[in-house]
Amino acid sequence: MELKNRRALVTGGSTGIGRAIVLDLAANGADVVFTYVGPAAPQVIQAVESLGRKCLYFESDVSVFSEAERIIALVVEKMGGFDILVNNAGINRDGVVWKMTEQMWDEVVDTDLKGCFNYIRAAAPIFKEQKFGKIVNISSINALRGKFGQANYAAAKAGVIGLTKAVAKELGAYNVNVNAVAPGFIETEMTDKLPEKIKNQALDETVFKRFGRPEEIAHLVSFLCSEKARHITGEVIRIDGGQCL
């Protein structure tokens, strides 16, 4: 298995894309820790353990700087080390810019962008010292093209791309790969709640005329965390079925 004996941390790992990433990393041999807000998803832990891998979970808000330091310290303590960071946690608070409140803006930017920074900042000294690490940040195709009603989300996810590229340059000399994945419309619990009109518009944009599945994002993340991707860094890889063509 490509990730045998690696220790991974996935933020927002109890549902949707995050859950799929946790399970795929475990299927590829990694022990996994995930953070969550809300239901702890004990079935995720059971699924990881059924694969013969260790799994820990911690309720934590990624937007809190000190929480990132606490969680990563726990990963090192409980897992005996730390090799892989996947920044997946994210929220959306949609609304046209002339109706968007300061709170809507701050909540999305604090979670989707500052949350990435918080965990990268806490992980970087460890990866730098051990001269090894893999960081994958989940962005969005809407960071690349913008999206009506998502000024906050598009701005935050675009910031994730800039952060990815800057940190890739800073940590490259220490054998740390830093990449971003930009999904299109993916079938998750969150997207299931969207109006049919929005879902149909997204479907029409794809060349395959189908939505992506969380496990398809997870397969790419696991690849980027493996040594098969050791010469890839600073990249933003779209996985959207041609939605952004």
Nearest to 89 by CA among 170, 14, 198: 14
- Please check whether residue 164 lies inside any domain of the structure: yes
Taking only the tens of pLDDT, the chain with its 245 residues reads 799 999 999 999 999 999 999 999 999 999 999 999 987 678 899 999 999 999 999 999 999 999 999 999 999 999 999 999 999 999 999 999 999 999 999 999 999 999 999 999 999 999 999 999 999 999 999 999 999 999 999 999 999 999 999 999 999 999 999 999 999 999 988 787 778 888 889 999 999 999 999 999 999 999 999 999 999 999 999 999 999 98
Catalytic-labelled residue, pool 57, 119, 153, 174: 153
Identify the CATH number of the domain in which residue 164 sits.
3.40.50.720
Cβ atoms 6, 33 nearer than 8 A:
no
Residue 2 domain-assigned (yes or no): no
Q: Does some domain include residue 187?
A: yes
Count of the separate structural domains present in the chain: 1
Long-range Cβ contacts of 110-115 (<8 Å, 24+ apart): 110/63, 111/61, 111/62, 111/63, 111/156, 112/153, 112/156, 112/157, 112/160, 113/156, 113/157, 113/159, 113/160, 113/163, 114/63, 114/65, 115/11, 115/62, 115/63, 115/68, 115/87, 115/89, 115/90
Clarify whether 153 is annotated catalytic.
yes
Residues 7, 80 contacting (CB under 8 angstroms): yes
**Is 244 within a domain?**
no
SS3 46: helix
